[in-house]
Homo-oligomer: A and B are copies of this chain.
Amino acid sequence: MREVAILGVGQTAVREHWDLSIRQLAVAAGRAALADADVSRVDAIYVGNMTSGNLNEQHHLGALVADHLGQWGVEAVKLEAACGSAGSAMRQGIIAIASGQMDAVLVIGVEKMTETVMEETTAALVTAADADYEGIHGVTFVSLNALIMRRYMHEYGYQHGDFAPFAINAHANGAKNPNALFREPITQKIYERGRVVADPITLFDASPIGDGAAALLLVPAEQAPGAVRVVGSAVATDTLAVHDREDMLWLKAAQQSAQRAYAQAGIGPEDVDLFELHDAFSVMAALSLEAAGFAERGQGVRLAQEGEIFPDGRIPVATMGGLKARGHPVGATGLYQIAEAALQLRGDAGAAQIEGARIAMAQNIGGSGATIATHILRNPIAH
């Protein structure tokens, strides 16, 4: 199997982009990745997106994006796995290069969510859950996560304030990233005063939606010896409905995809220098740290409290703001994570740079853990 390298990285800032349509967002990120790679023609385009059919009246993004990037005739398709859409697009791009059939693949994650009323967006997001057995009861995506967080607090004896380090770290890091939606640090006091969204989740436990696009240009590693390599890539699924799981506090698909990716890379969690985890909600950050092997069961929050998730800690997370502060344009997020991990390994993360990082992991979650894509990147050159 051919190894894959990331030759180009592009992104738009995450904002309420009132002046940019979904096509313009995707094209801007795609063009930036092509320019960064100095590549003009690709063999395929994989677009990760969740809600364009519901919120933008636009399906068929593969052809749309290929068309407006001037890549006429190219193979293109959209991939959807709820909030795991972009991580899944990355996975297909890697498989395509590995197949030997493609030598230059553009993967783009894009989402345009803020042009509709909030009720429409909330309705679109709950389609990530099981419509017949969860959505039909009126449960929203936030309330499902609230149930999980409440159970976590109950089982492991935490208080709401114990989750603060996840938000404090994310907002501090987002302040250093010009593409982040929120760029103001917060304090423990501000965290504790957060307005309740769905008890116990407050505004500071929930990531904000946004408009944005992130893109990567992938090539076979042998064509780009100095570029960041993808040394692990795996997707795993779990039951769609949370109530069907043996243990709602264990992200089985995170564990499985991380284990597969570790095995491919020939490493373990102890070798990972930074972890772009899927902190859509504070409790998901804790559960990801546990399932991916960075903390024992129930100890994800403890790890955060000990400061180990901060830039100078054992395993920095959300290094450029994470979903919480960079923002969560749902179907684009998985590629923001990988783009940021690649920038960190290249030494191009600016004020958010984690010094000496050589191995980075990104984990993108669809639904409440039903689809999880894990990618491990390595920089062959120390910077």
> B56–A131 contact, CB under 8 A?
yes
Nearest chain B CB to A139 CB, angstrom units: 12
Return chain B residues, CB-CB under 8 Å to A235: 75-77
CB of A338 closer than 8 Å to a CB of B: no
CB of A238 closer than 8 Å to a CB of B: yes
CB of A212 closer than 8 Å to a CB of B: no
- 10 additional contacts, CB 8 Å, given A58-B130, A59-B128? A1-B101, A57-B126, A58-B127, A60-B80, A67-B238, A72-B237, A73-B252, A75-B91, A77-B81, A77-B91
User: How distant is the Cα of A80 from the Cα of B77 in the complex, in angstroms?
Assistant: 6
> A53–B124 contact, CB under 8 A?
yes
Counting from the closest, the 5 A-B pairs by CB-CB distance are A63-B370, A99-B99, A59-B127, A58-B131, A98-B99
CB of A239 closer than 8 Å to a CB of B: yes
Residue of B nearest to A66 (CB): B237
User: How distant is the Cα of A131 from the Cα of B60 in the complex, in angstroms?
Assistant: 10
| 23 interchain pairs, CB-CB under 8 A | A23-B132, A53-B124, A57-B135, A60-B128, A60-B371, A62-B80, A63-B237, A66-B237, A67-B240, A73-B253, A74-B237, A75-B91, A76-B81, A77-B79, A77-B235, A77-B371, A78-B80, A92-B92, A92-B95, A95-B95, A95-B96, A95-B99, A98-B100
CB of A353 closer than 8 Å to a CB of B: no
> A67–B100 contact, CB under 8 A?
no
Give residues 296-318 of A contacting B (CB, 8 Å). none
Return chain B residues, CB-CB under 8 Å to A241: 67
User: How distant is the Cα of A77 from the Cα of B15 in the complex, in angstroms?
Assistant: 27
Oligomer: number of copies:
2
Give residues 13-71 of A contacting B (CB, 8 Å). 21, 23, 50-54, 56-64, 66-67, 71
Question: Which residues of A come within 8 Å of B, CB atoms?
Answer: 1, 21, 23, 50-54, 56-64, 66-67, 71-82, 88, 91-92, 95-96, 98-101, 123-124, 126-132, 135, 234-241, 244, 252-253, 256, 366-367, 370-371
Nearest chain B CB to A219 CB, angstrom units: 15
Return chain B residues, CB-CB under 8 Å to A98: 99-101
User: How distant is the Cα of A56 from the Cα of B100 in the complex, in angstroms?
Assistant: 37
Residue of B nearest to A256 (CB): B73
Residue of B nearest to A129 (CB): B60
> B236–A127 contact, CB under 8 A?
no
> A237–B58 contact, CB under 8 A?
no
User: How distant is the Cα of A121 from the Cα of B325 in the complex, in angstroms?
Assistant: 37
Nearest chain B CB to A246 CB, angstrom units: 10
Residue of B nearest to A255 (CB): B73
Return chain B residues, CB-CB under 8 Å to A236: 73-75
Instruction: Known A1-B99, A101-B95; judge A239-B72 contact (CB<8 A).
Output: yes
Nearest chain B CB to A207 CB, angstrom units: 18
User: How distant is the Cα of A96 from the Cα of B54 in the complex, in angstroms?
Assistant: 29
User: How distant is the Cα of A72 from the Cα of B239 in the complex, in angstroms?
Assistant: 7
> B79–A78 contact, CB under 8 A?
yes
Nearest chain B CB to A318 CB, angstrom units: 24
User: How distant is the Cα of A89 from the Cα of B236 in the complex, in angstroms?
Assistant: 18
User: How distant is the Cα of A129 from the Cα of B51 in the complex, in angstroms?
Assistant: 16
Nearest chain B CB to A231 CB, angstrom units: 14
> B88–A77 contact, CB under 8 A?
yes
> A57–B234 contact, CB under 8 A?
no
Return chain B residues, CB-CB under 8 Å to A61: 80
Return chain B residues, CB-CB under 8 Å to A96: 95, 99
User: How distant is the Cα of A64 from the Cα of B80 in the complex, in angstroms?
Assistant: 12
User: How distant is the Cα of A51 from the Cα of B63 in the complex, in angstroms?
Assistant: 17
User: How distant is the Cα of A80 from the Cα of B74 in the complex, in angstroms?
Assistant: 16
User: How distant is the Cα of A256 from the Cα of B78 in the complex, in angstroms?
Assistant: 20
